[in-house]
Structure 1
Amino acid sequence: MTSVLANVIIVVSLLAALHALVSAWRDRPMDWWHLGVLGVLEALLIAQAVTGFAKLSGDGGPADSATFVGYLLGVLLIPAAGAGWGLLERTRWGPAVIVVAGLSVAVMIVRMNQIWEGTVA
């Protein structure tokens, strides 16, 4: 895993969650800024997946590679699902879904780092 890319993903996902939280608190529906941030987050996650699979194909990698691959593929679905659900929900709860998606991505990236380093909790 590339810790710099992982840290960037965590920061972007937490900033997206914070922005969405402010929108939900202000009783605003999801807008194009939310979609843009989710698009950037998805692009970063795709780069993470490519990097992760490239490192797995080499001689390095975690001991539990099946769980790592599951996290690597599963985290790709969260921003897309959050964007779709947020677009369908035209109340304050649309951005609330983005809050959950952003926090979920951050937690999954931290967990992927733990699996990669072998510090299974």
Structure 2
Amino acid sequence: MTAMFIVGTAICGLSTLICWIMTALRNHPADSSIISLAAVELYLIVYAVYAGIRQATGATVTGEAWEFWGYILTALILPVGVFIWAVIDKTRWSNLVMSFVGLVVFVMLYRLEEIWWGTTL
């Protein structure tokens, strides 16, 4: 397991937990849920920059590069799309939908680690 994966897992888990709690407590999108989405997005930006620098300096991914970058781009779009949806749908359930970003991004990070290093964690 890499440090980037461990940090990403923590951020995704915390985001999911915050959103679940806010689903129970709020009847509208909670600021804390939106901030947790922003934290996931910020992490993904850092991850993408790190991956770009790593590849630019000669390191290669074990799997297919197009698949690796496809996962990163999809993961980057996901929090933004869900944020837009949550702003439009001002109900309790937008917090629940935001919670799935953390879960989905975690699965994508797991897959990125497999593609990057060629091993299962």
* Runs of 5+ consecutive residues of structure 2 not aligned to the other structure: none
Shift of 1:27: 4.8
Question: Which position in structure 2 is the counterpart of 1:40?
Answer: 39
Describe the superposition over 1:61-110 as per-residue Cα deviations: whole angstroms up to 9, x where unpaired. 22311101101111111111121111211111100111111111111111
Please give the secondary structure, in 1, of the residue aligned with 2:59. Answer: coil
Instruction: Normalising by structure 1, report the TM-score.
Output: 0.87
Instruction: Normalising by structure 2, report the TM-score.
Output: 0.87
Q: More displaced, 109-118 or 25-34?
A: 25-34
Question: Which position in structure 1 is the counterpart of 2:92?
Answer: 92
Question: Which position in structure 2 is the counterpart of 1:113?
Answer: 113
Q: More displaced, 92-101 or 52-61?
A: 52-61
Question: Which position in structure 1 is the counterpart of 2:70?
Answer: 70
Identity %: 26
Structure 1 moving runs of 4+ over 3 Å:
none
What RMSD over aligned residues (CA atoms) do the two structures have, in Å? 1.8
* Runs of 5+ consecutive residues of structure 1 not aligned to the other structure: none
